[in-house]
């Protein structure tokens, strides 16, 4: 419902990226963000709730923490995800009619309220934090690979916006 309201209040998106990289950067960042957690969510239940061997080879080391502490960290990361979802919702509220995937609206304005008063791209910040939380939740290096790709995609995307 956000996009129709944004189109009605701030106009349609007037300009979009014309270069090849500008057109594919959003799908790249989306896929690299979602593939690690979706893979984990699909593979573990189908393997009787045990990480498959290929996934265990990418696990973070278990030498520094007791098992109970590791489980506590993973549960805390899950809880932090819900806090981050709330933050993202509030951020979208402040973004309001300026919401867009990538491009400029007919009546653009710089949002300077809420988290936008502190950080220019709070949604990007929340995605990067979520990548770290995915790493702890799955106790794997795999989300860090996706996080690196997402960070690179954001470096390309920010100037385009």
**pLDDT tens digits, one per residue of 68-109:** 999 999 999 999 999 999 999 999 888 877 777 676 777 778
Question: How confident is the model at residue 2, as a pLDDT?
Answer: 62
pLDDT band at residue 44, thresholds of 50, 70 and 90? very high
Say yes or no to pLDDT of 14 above 70: yes
Average pLDDT over residues 126-134: 95
Rg (CA), the chain: 18
Count of helix runs (H) and strand runs (E) in the chain: 6, 2
Average pLDDT over residues 117-138: 93
CA distance 46 to 50: 9
Q: 157: burial class by Cβ within 10 Å (0-12, 13-18, 19+)? A: buried
Average pLDDT over residues 151-155: 92
The residue written with tokens 């960042």 in the block is 29
Question: How confident is the model at residue 1, as a pLDDT?
Answer: 47
Rounded to 5°, the CA angle 112-22-128 comes to: 55
Within a 10 A sphere around the Cβ of 10, how many other Cβ atoms? Answer: 20
């Amino acid at each position: 419902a956000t996009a129709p309201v944004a189109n009605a209040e701030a106009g349609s998106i007037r300009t979009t990226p014309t270069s090849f990289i500008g057109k594919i950067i959003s799908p790249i960042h989306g896929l690299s963000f979602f593939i690690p957690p979706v893979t984990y969510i699909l593979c573990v239940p189908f393997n009787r709730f045990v990480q498959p061997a290929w996934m265990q080879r990418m696990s973070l080391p278990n030498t520094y923490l007791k098992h109970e502490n590791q489980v506590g960290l993973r549960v805390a990361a899950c809880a932090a995800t819900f806090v981050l979802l709330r933050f993202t919702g509030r951020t979208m509220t402040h973004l309001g009619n300026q919401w867009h995937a990538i491009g400029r609206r007919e009546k653009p304005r710089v949002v300077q309220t809420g988290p936008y008063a502190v950080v220019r791209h709070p949604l990007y910040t929340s995605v990067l934090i979520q990548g770290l939380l995915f790493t702890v939740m799955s106790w794997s290096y795999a989300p860090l690979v996706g996080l690196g790709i997402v960070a690179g995609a954001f470096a390309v995307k920010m100037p385009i916006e």
